[in-house]
Structure 1
Amino acid sequence: MLGILLAGGRSRRFGNDKLLFRVDGRPLIQHALERLESASLIDEVIVVASPDNVGRLRGLGCEVVVDELSVGPAGGVYTALGLGDAFVAAGDMPLIVPELVDHIIREFARQGKTACVPRWSNGYLEPLHAAYSRVFRGILEERIHSGDYSLNGAIRSADVCYLEVEGLPSHWRGSFFNVNSRSDLRKLMANSK
């Protein structure tokens, strides 16, 4: 299965391009890339980038595809699914757990739904740590054409399988950590020491 890292955000809360901010000597996105590549069921990792940052991300050592829609995560997932079924994660998730990625992909294959998405007991979804079928692209296309760019809304309207996060091993939950702010970065750096 393809592994896709979305790298289209503008890093407004962070202040500058967080994906290239160096953590332990490597860009933040490189940590996510290496962990996603380590999942045994991922064949190749591709970065889906906005037109603004595609040039800066080309040196990562993997293919970079441009999200021409630039309508947020729904557009990135739509672009990714043009390449095939995919496990999609955010580029600012440096603690991806390869075993969790494999577990989600196995459940996705076993259940045969259009997507397999982790869900917390309060209903919160983890749409950028999920497996999607190419069929889901059609659902996104209809919604995007109607001006609805909500990825969560598209998921909730489709026939998907949910993985209850609280039922997963607790040490896998760090996989959902993402860096939105400088304080998130400080937490990450404190834990890496």
Structure 2
Amino acid sequence: MKTTGIVLAGGKSTRFGEDKALYLFKNKPLVLHALDILRPFCDELMISTNSPESYQDFGVKTVMDIYTGSGPLGGIHAALSISQGSHAAFISCDTPFIPSDIYPFLLENMADHQAIMPAHGEYVETMCAIYQKSSLPFIEKAIVGKKYKILEALKAINVRYINIENETFFRPEIFHNINYKTDL
């Protein structure tokens, strides 16, 4: 099974005040933390962004939204559309605390589902997920229908929401995303 790793870095970073994907955290850009999380188990890496020129020095493909203004779902769609793998692992650029071992766990538990994402308590982590390429037409249909919320779009596909609260890698703070510089 070939897996493509995709970092979602297409947001406007309005609350952050500058492009947070390029902001240094522990001496390297947040986007590089995300790439390093995906690197151990992915055959291909890419960054979904609306400013590809900012990422040309990272040595990975970049992809721009096909449907602009559709939020993270547009980034998922664009990346899946050019992905070489049968599966695509997604991570948001602003979640540097996600452990690498969560993705092999998700792949192992995916079975015949078209997507899998971790859940804990009442939370579903939609930006830390794996999708099969077969989910692409359903995601495109949602975008064309102006259904940009990920959970809404996923109603059309076979998704597994897997509880991770008892896994050794789980701590609630692993999904903390960086919205403000004070979050670092």
- C-alpha separation in 1, matches of 2:167 and 2:154: 21
Instruction: Tell me whether 1:105 sits opposite 2:103 in the alignment.
Output: no
The AA in structure 2 aligned to 1:66 is M
The AA in structure 1 aligned to 2:45 is V
Unaligned runs of 5+ in 1: 186-193
Give SS of 2:73's match: helix
From 28, 34, 37, the equivalent of 1:35 is: 37
Matches within 5 A, 1:43-192: 43-50=43-50, 53-70=51-68, 71-82=70-81, 83=83, 84=85, 85-108=87-110, 111-122=111-122, 124-169=123-168, 171=170, 173-185=172-184
Give SS of 2:36's match: helix
Unaligned runs of 5+ in 2: none
- Post-superposition Cα deviations, 1:62-84, rounded to whole Å, max 9, x if no partner, equal 11122232310110111111114
TM-score (norm 1): 0.85
Aligned-pair identity (%): 30
Structure 1 residue 95 displacement after superposition:
2.1
Structure 1 residue 174 displacement after superposition:
4.3
The structure whose residues are more often helix, as a share, is 1
Q: Indicate if the aligned counterparts of 1:29 and 1:93 stay in contact, CA closer than 8 A.
A: no
Q: Indicate if the aligned counterparts of 1:36 and 1:96 stay in contact, CA closer than 8 A.
A: no
- C-alpha separation in 2, matches of 1:24 and 1:178: 15
What's the Cα RMSD here? 1.6
Q: Indicate if the aligned counterparts of 1:4 and 1:46 stay in contact, CA closer than 8 A.
A: yes
Give SS of 2:165's match: helix
Match of 2:20 in 1: 18
- Post-superposition Cα deviations, 1:104-162, rounded to whole Å, max 9, x if no partner, equal 11112xx211101112221x211110110112111111111111111111224421111
Aligned residues: 178
Give SS of 1:135's match: helix
- C-alpha separation in 1, matches of 2:178 and 2:46: 20
- C-alpha separation in 2, matches of 1:154 and 1:167: 28
Structure 1 residue 26 displacement after superposition:
1.4
